[in-house]
Copies of this chain bind each other. A is one copy, B any other.
Amino acid sequence: MNFDSIFNAAQEAFLFYKNLSGKEKGEFLETLAEILESHRPEIVPLAVKESNLPEGRINGELGRTTGQIKLFANLVKEGSWIEATIDPAMPDRTPLPRADIRRMLTPIGPVVVFGASNFPLAFSTAGGDTISALASGCPVIYKAHPAHPETSKKVAECIHEAILKCGLPSALFTHVEGGITEGQALVKHPQAKAVAFTGSHAGGKALFDLANQREEPIPVYAEMGSVNPIFCFPKKLEQNLDGLAKAFVSSLTLGVGQFCTNPGLIFVPESQAKAFENAISAELKDIASAPMLHPGIAQAYYDSIQFLESREELRWVKVADPKHLINGSTALAEIKASDWLSDHIFQKEVFGAFAMMVVYQSQEELEEIAKHLHGQLTITVWADEEELKNQLFLINLLEEKCGRLLFKGVPTGVEVGYAMQHGGPYPSTTAPNSTSVGAHAIKRFARPIAFQDMPQELLPDALKEGNPLGIWRLVNGEYRQ
């Protein structure tokens, strides 16, 4: 496999594209959003067919995708995201004069993006990773997910339509098909500057290791899912047992459990365990099994369940029913906190609609759980006001273990906005200091550069005297527009 010509073209496109204004980049993204919308009638049926996801969901996902594109378009048109920081010259400073130093974020170069099987649109070809890289100013070499090849090709065509319409270099986006070998070759290519990935732990970790072994190591932004624990407290359960059971089951089984924020772990006080279990069981009864994304995912789900069934610490409240291999059937097991604490295997994500209910007996156990917990994308706390007041220390501990901490609702449904943080401590991601959803995701594909005593006419507009772009800048340590 030789990707030299692809990367050479991408690098050339980069040297042109990075210097376009935020306005021009934003208009390109807006054009892309429009074009995707205009191809909705072709895209949706393809994605439905290739993902087994219902049409309503795919229609919503396309809206999420274009909404996300518009968010990044607005972000780069506004322009303040580049963190312009200016320390003007102080020629008369003693003992030494200060030079004029101006710093901003600059795009890093060609980015390799891997699509996710569970979001054929929003986390795939024109998904968050691709769009935040393009918004930052980086060309994208996109490795299509083999689970939805036709959808991917169609969306790639839309991207090229937008590139053409805006008169941009075609190599700004390259669609690469293939398997693991192709993916590895892309990550190893000397001209790749970063990798973005959403998928399994095994996949993300392998790319991370590969990228670190390069002659020039590059960052891998891998979002690898997690079990997204929910901590339940007795009063809160008492107040709304059925409502919470319904919310939990609905989040657990949404999209046949195929979300990285799927709640696979729920901590329940012993006093309420039986009642809550019954309420959950009642809800689960009404959930029909449904086709998973592809046979490989279903197979992996049932294999994981089968492995867990061999563990005597678990009592099965509802067993999975693997008779139709493509269909995901819900499963729920219960375990004592002391047993759960004894083996890290009980924290391993089972991708699908399976949850482990962990029954705790005491505050001490809760704190031990918090310390023992692996890094998570999200943690949810269901407690009433009084209970929360007594849990400040626990919450302090839980903050160390997640990227997003919820006090209401469920972890599924990741809002695309300015404040979203989708990324937590390892093993949920390989880069806990970044997010793969929301405005801040753009920063993964930029690095700071400082210009010292650069002549005004050469400076990027973002750093020029008089602030021609009208962006927010930190000047001599003070925020100014």
Binding site for B on A (CB under 8 A): 15, 19, 74-75, 78, 80, 83, 85-87, 96, 98-99, 101-103, 106, 108-109, 208-209, 212, 216-219, 375, 385, 388, 392, 395-397, 399-400, 402-409, 413, 415, 417-421, 423, 425-427, 430, 432-435, 439-440, 443, 446-455, 458, 472, 474, 476-477, 479, 481
Apart from the given pairs A83-B440, A404-B452, 16 other A-B contacts in the complex at a CB distance below 8 Å = A86-B419, A87-B415, A98-B415, A101-B420, A209-B212, A216-B427, A388-B455, A395-B458, A406-B452, A407-B458, A408-B452, A419-B474, A420-B450, A421-B450, A433-B443, A433-B447
* From B99, B209, B402, B407, contact of A449 by CB (8 A): B402
Q: Is the CB of B420 within 8 A of A103?
A: yes
**Which chain B positions have C-beta within 8 A of A86?**
418-419
Q: Is the CB of B85 within 8 A of A419?
A: yes
Q: Is the CB of A15 within 8 A of B397?
A: yes
Q: How far is the CA of A479 from the CA of B478 in the complex (A)?
A: 13
* From B78, B98, B430, B479, contact of A472 by CB (8 A): B479
| 26 sample A-B contacts, Cβ–Cβ < 8 Å, listed by A number | A15-B396, A19-B396, A74-B477, A78-B477, A83-B440, A85-B419, A87-B415, A87-B417, A103-B421, A103-B440, A208-B212, A209-B212, A212-B212, A217-B426, A388-B455, A395-B458, A404-B449, A405-B450, A405-B452, A405-B454, A406-B453, A407-B451, A421-B450, A432-B447, A435-B448, A439-B477
Q: Is the CB of A101 within 8 A of B417?
A: yes
**Which chain B positions have C-beta within 8 A of A75?**
477
Q: Is the CB of B87 within 8 A of A407?
A: no
Number of chain copies forming the complex:
2
